[in-house]
Amino acid sequence: MKVLLIAPRGKKTSYNKFSKWDNVGLGLLYLVSSLKENGFEVQVALTDNEGVKKYLDVFHPDIIGITCVTSTYNTAIAILKTVKAYDKSIITVIGGHHVTFTVEETLNESCVDYAVRGEGEEVFPKLLKNLMKDKPHELIEGVCFKRGKRIYNKNSIAMVKDINKLPHPDRDSVKHYDFPGIYMLSSRGCPFKCTFCSAANLYGGVWRKRNVENILDELEGIKDIRKNKVTVQFGDESLTVDTKWAKELCRGIIERGFKFNWYPNSRIDSINRDPELLKLMKEAGCKGLSLGIESGVQEIIDSLCKGITLKQALGAAEKMKDAKLYQQWYLMIGSGDKYDEPKYIKQSIEFMKKFPFDLLQISILTPFPGTRLYNQLKKEGRIINTNWDLYDGLHCVYKPLGMTAEQLEKELTIAYREVYMHAGIWAFFRRILRFKNTLANSRNFFTFINLLIKVGLFRKDIRVALE
């Protein structure tokens, strides 16, 4: 049985220009390894509904597996329509965060045969083996399908009980794409309850870490890992949930003699509570961290259930500055509640003007399906747009209470201009030269400079600048 796994291409006129979502995510590479381990022939494609035709002509798959996030869902469905038009007998399976929380809509509105909720490494091979045994409707945890008007299994989610038992992701299957950098996962899930993040609902507040030796063994298999030629991006929700474990990983990297640049996501509170952590991360080759401050207004941070304070954020920033680590921060415009007013956005911008970041990515608050925020806004009738293409951090898809959606969208461009340009043109260029290494490669560096120049100097709207 031949399986084609597809990652839909992200839109070029969005933050996908800098994002892993215009890439083949680790989820698919883990699936490749699991499927091969179970004897299936697998090929991977990063494509759209036009490009998929060449894979159908050449590879002749029996099964199509496709993953998506919210902003690539429409592309994924378009691809599946092309597949079914080409050959109705090809079995189609879809998965990913978005589908996990919209499984009924997905199965009712599309031509897909199966939808997987949660993690697919164990259940997807089981499904394929059942299909080979002519048992297409045997229930498997997390695998949903429709018969007549009934949807089966819609309330179950597949979770891998022991992630240490999974085979390492098959990076050789995408080496022809020559992606910049290498992505890794050392843990899954998140124990925190931010209202705007779907991880809390997907993983039920459970955080699972891999054994340090398991992670080090995966790193061992990466070419040139000891020659300072490799950049690794850890895609964990936060690498530093357990600082004792994170430090054990750093010591393991040092002891094995690995020499590579790496960048994790982290949390402000982790950095503040363990003064030894940053020093050890730096010694192990870490070059910078990505963190979410989300807002420069404490009341908004509290309403988002972020669990941090602005004082803690400033403390973490100073510690990273002292350790000479690059700082990439994330800020959102909007709150989804009574704080959606121009005065609070201005207050947030004023705070960030004084903040010692190297790179700041600013987005519009987006209520993704599966988040508490989405559920609340939907209950209040304030979701005004369900064109998933617009769930990209550049569009306001909900009705703010103290301003219009259009006004909030304009504030995004103003925020970029004021935060980056308030100290003048030369300070702007000194800043962007400092954060060169925080982007995956030189192409992304110059693309981001171009974006900031268009917005900051030529006063273009950010969505126009991204075209």
pLDDT computed for residue 358 by the predictor? 87
Summarised one tens digit per residue, pLDDT across range 59-88 is 999 999 999 999 999 999 999 999 999 999
In Å, how far are 69, 156, 234, 441 from 25, measured between CA atoms? Answer: 11, 23, 12, 17
Query: What is the pLDDT confidence band of residue 442, given thresholds at 50, 70 and 90?
Result: very low
Is the CA virtual torsion 209, 210, 215, 216 positive or negative? positive
The CA angle 114-196-8, to the nearest 5 degrees, is 40
Q: Which residues contact 194 (CB under 8 A, 6 or more apart)?
A: 200, 304, 305, 306, 307
| Rounded distance between C-alpha atoms, residue 211 and residue 215, angstroms | 7
- Enter the DSSP assignment of 449: H
Residue type, 49: N
Concatenate the DSSP letters of all residues of 133-184 into one string: TT-TT---TTEEEEETTEEESTT--B--S-GGGSPPP-GGGGGGG--SSEEE
Question: What domains are defined for the chain?
Answer: 2-152 (3.40.50.280), 180-286 (3.30.750.210)
- Is residue 286 a contact partner of residue 262, using CB atoms and an 8 Å limit? yes
Which whole number is the average pLDDT over 351-362?
92
- Enter the DSSP assignment of 11: P
- Is residue 103 a contact partner of residue 109, using CB atoms and an 8 Å limit? no
pLDDT computed for residue 457 by the predictor? 61
Query: What is the pLDDT confidence band of residue 420, given thresholds at 50, 70 and 90?
Result: confident
Report strand pairing: 150-152 vs 182-184. unpaired
pLDDT computed for residue 226 by the predictor? 94
In Å, how far are 106, 156, 270, 443, 462 from 455, measured between CA atoms? Answer: 37, 45, 34, 18, 6
Q: Which residues pair with 42 in a beta bridge?
A: 3
pLDDT computed for residue 21 by the predictor? 42
The three-state secondary structure class of 454 is helix
Residue that wins the pLDDT comparison between 400 and 434: 400
Is the CA virtual torsion 186, 311, 325, 294 positive or negative? positive
The model's pTM: 0.91
The CA angle 247-203-314, to the nearest 5 degrees, is 50
| Rounded distance between C-alpha atoms, residue 455 and residue 463, angstroms | 9
Token pair 């091979």 in the structure block, residue = 125
| Rounded distance between C-alpha atoms, residue 5 and residue 42, angstroms | 7
Backbone angles phi, psi at 254, to 5 degrees: -65, -45
Backbone angles phi, psi at 241, to 5 degrees: -60, -45
H/E run at residue 234 = strand 231-234
Count helices and strands in the chain by DSSP H and E runs: 19, 15
- Is residue 225 a contact partner of residue 259, using CB atoms and an 8 Å limit? yes
Summarised one tens digit per residue, pLDDT across range 149-200 is 999 999 999 999 999 999 999 999 998 776 767 999 999 999 999 999 999 8
- Cα within 13 Å of Cα(3), Cβ side: 26
Helices 405-421, 442-456: axis angle to 10 degrees equals 110
Which whole number is the average pLDDT over 197-205?
89
| Rounded distance between C-alpha atoms, residue 26 and residue 283, angstroms | 27
Summarised one tens digit per residue, pLDDT across range 233-266 is 999 999 999 999 999 999 999 999 999 999 999 9
Both tokens of residue 101?
């929380």
In Å, how far are 85, 91, 428 from 88, measured between CA atoms? Answer: 6, 8, 55
| Rounded distance between C-alpha atoms, residue 127 and residue 115, angstroms | 11
- Is residue 94 a contact partner of residue 68, using CB atoms and an 8 Å limit? yes
Lowest mean pLDDT across 32-46, 171-185, 195-209:
171-185
| Rounded distance between C-alpha atoms, residue 182 and residue 26, angstroms | 10
Residue 462: is its pLDDT beyond 80? no
Which whole number is the average pLDDT over 319-339?
95
Query: What is the pLDDT confidence band of residue 320, given thresholds at 50, 70 and 90?
Result: very high
Backbone angles phi, psi at 323, to 5 degrees: -80, 0
Alpha helices in 204-360 (DSSP H): 212-220, 243-255, 268-273, 275-283, 298-303, 310-322, 342-353
The three-state secondary structure class of 9 is coil
pLDDT computed for residue 305 by the predictor? 96
The mean predicted confidence, pLDDT, of the chain is 91
- Enter the DSSP assignment of 224: T
